[in-house]
């Protein structure tokens, strides 16, 4: 790959920034425009913005130029957001990197809050926030998806087990020393989670900053949710779990989520088996009651935020989420343990590193 080129017509927001904002984009001109407009309202800290174009065929580069961002252009279009962020980080001048997606709106104090967090906590290597409760898209699935993400992050442990690049910051020396994002993820996937695993394995502290919240612009549809959850999250994350041997009790992988998934998968089995052994219907009911109990805080949150009608409509989607996530984990486990054939072409291919976590990590 050739070296990326900086667009000479752009100028930085500060000659001595405290934080460098890195935004990967590919054909996201309309959302990028809103993202950069929101970023321009930032106050209280010197900053710069680097937009890394991953081969856009729309006006993404023009939008970035008009709104004053530095522009990096990857010479290999479609190489993925992880590689794009790495390119931006290599050109950044601030000691703190802030990664944000092109479909996210920061608040005027978001950058200052990250800078203050790192200044007040020298031991922190990385930190990330969450989506707020007011997504831009008003359709049911976008509201459900955003509120679920908000709840999971707001309920997570402050000492985080991974990283999130939708709204996350990391000290630049730590990022460069870690090797950055794994460029083998050619599309938006778990490249940020994988980086978080490596940071944790290296003994670095990651903080979940619940007070830092941003607005998401993405419009979710049923099939885009399934495709993302199964192929971009569950399957690659399962591979990472088996490779690292690390299954954190946090965020989407908490023990209550794991038990909930078992309840969802087991309920229809006991329901059908009950026709042969009616006492199993009681077991099915017990599984459903357990499912409601384990998720009572989430469902109360949905009820408080959007009302009873919203809750009743998203319950099937949430239970379906547990069902297909369980099946994807099972399939990913089989793939992770399948016999591997060593060929002349594959024997020379680089292997993904084995992660070793410190005791208690």
288: CB partners within 8 A, 6+ apart: 263, 267
Both structure tokens of 97: 């990197």
Indicate if the pLDDT at residue 6 is higher than 80: no
Indicate if the pLDDT at residue 10 is higher than 50: no
Q: From start to end of the chain, where are the E strands?
A: 5-6, 19-25, 47-53, 70-73, 96-100, 104-105, 124-131, 167-171, 205-216
Domains and CATH numbers, the chain: 7-220 (3.90.550.10), 221-337 (no CATH)
pLDDT band at 352; cut points 50, 70, 90: low
Indicate if the pLDDT at residue 8 is higher than 50: no
With a pLDDT cut of 70, the percent of the chain lying above it is 90
Indicate if the pLDDT at residue 344 is higher than 50: no
pLDDT band at 251; cut points 50, 70, 90: confident
Q: How many helices (H) and strands (E) does the chain have?
A: 14, 9
**Three-class SS of 171-210:** EHHHHHHHCCCCCCCCCCCCHHHHHHHHHHHCCCEEEEEE
pLDDT one-digit tens code per residue, 301-339: 999 999 999 999 999 999 999 999 999 999 999 988 877
* Mean of per-residue pLDDT scores for the chain: 89
pLDDT for res 54? 94
pLDDT one-digit tens code per residue, 125-184: 999 999 999 999 999 999 999 999 999 999 999 999 899 999 999 999 999 999 999 999
pLDDT band at 3; cut points 50, 70, 90: very low
Indicate if the pLDDT at residue 117 is higher than 70: yes
CA distances (Å), 329 to each of 185, 224, 332, in order? 19, 19, 5
pLDDT band at 87; cut points 50, 70, 90: very high
DSSP annotation string for 123-186: TEEEEEEEE-S--S--SHHHHHHHHHHHHHHHTS-SB-SS--SSEEEEEHHHHHHHT-S-TT--
pLDDT one-digit tens code per residue, 197-206: 999 999 999 9
Residue 114 in contact with residue 19, Cβ under 8 Å? Answer: yes
Name residue, tokens 């509201």. 143
pLDDT for res 68? 93
Indicate if the pLDDT at residue 349 is higher than 70: no
According to DSSP, the β-strands at 104-105 and 124-131 are unpaired
pLDDT band at 14; cut points 50, 70, 90: low
pLDDT for res 253? 79
pLDDT one-digit tens code per residue, 22-33: 999 999 999 999
Q: Which of the pair, 151 or 358, is modelled with greater confidence? A: 151
What does the alpha-carbon distance between residue 12 and residue 75 come to, in Å, rounded to a whole number? Answer: 22
DSSP annotation string for 301-319: HHHHHH-HHHHHHHHHHHH
pLDDT for res 49? 97
What does the alpha-carbon distance between residue 203 and residue 357 come to, in Å, rounded to a whole number? Answer: 8
What does the alpha-carbon distance between residue 262 and residue 256 come to, in Å, rounded to a whole number? Answer: 10
What does the alpha-carbon distance between residue 39 and residue 22 come to, in Å, rounded to a whole number? Answer: 11
- What value does the mean pLDDT take over residues 49-75? 94
């Amino acid at each position: 790959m050739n070296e990326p080129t900086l667009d000479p017509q752009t100028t930085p927001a500060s000659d001595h920034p405290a934080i460098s904002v890195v935004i990967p984009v590919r054909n996201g001109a309309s959302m990028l425009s809103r993202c950069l407009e929101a970023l321009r309202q930032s106050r209280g800290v010197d900053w710069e913005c680097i937009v890394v174009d991953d081969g856009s065929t729309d006006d993404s580069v023009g939008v970035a130029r008009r709104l004053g961002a530095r522009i990096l252009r990857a010479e290999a279009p479609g190489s993925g957001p992880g590689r794009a962020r790495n390119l931006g980080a290599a050109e950044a001048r601030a000691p703190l990197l802030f990664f944000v997606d092109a479909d996210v709106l920061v608040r005027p104090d978001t950058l200052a809050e990250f800078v203050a967090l790192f200044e007040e906590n020298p031991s922190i290597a990385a930190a990330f926030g969450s989506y707020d409760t007011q997504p831009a898209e008003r359709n049911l699935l976008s509201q459900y998806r955003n509120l679920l993400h908000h709840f999971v992050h707001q309920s997570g442990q402050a000492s985080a087990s991974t990283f999130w690049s939708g709204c996350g910051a990391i000290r630049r020396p730590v990022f460069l020393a870690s090797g950055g994002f794994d460029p083998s993820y050619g599309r938006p996937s778990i490249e940020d989670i994988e980086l978080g695993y490596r940071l944790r394995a290296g003994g670095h502290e990651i903080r979940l900053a619940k007070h830092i919240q941003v607005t998401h612009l993405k419009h979710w549809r049923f099939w885009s949710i399934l495709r993302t959850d199964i192929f971009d999250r569950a399957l690659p994350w399962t591979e990472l779990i088996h490779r690292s041997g690390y299954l954190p009790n946090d965020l989407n992988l908490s023990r209550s989520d794991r038990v909930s998934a078992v309840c969802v998968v087991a309920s229809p089995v006991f329901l059908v088996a009950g026709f042969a052994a009616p006492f199993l219907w009681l077991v099915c009911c017990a599984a459903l009651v357990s499912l409601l109990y384990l998720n009572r805080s989430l469902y109360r949150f949905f009820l408080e935020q959007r009302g009873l009608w919203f809750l009743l409509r998203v319950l099937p989607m949430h239970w379906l989420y547990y069902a297909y996530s369980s099946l994807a984990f099972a399939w990913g486990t089989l793939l992770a343990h399948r016999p591997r054939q060593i060929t002349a072409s594959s024997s020379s291919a680089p292997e993904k590193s084995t992660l070793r976590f410190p005791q208690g990590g």
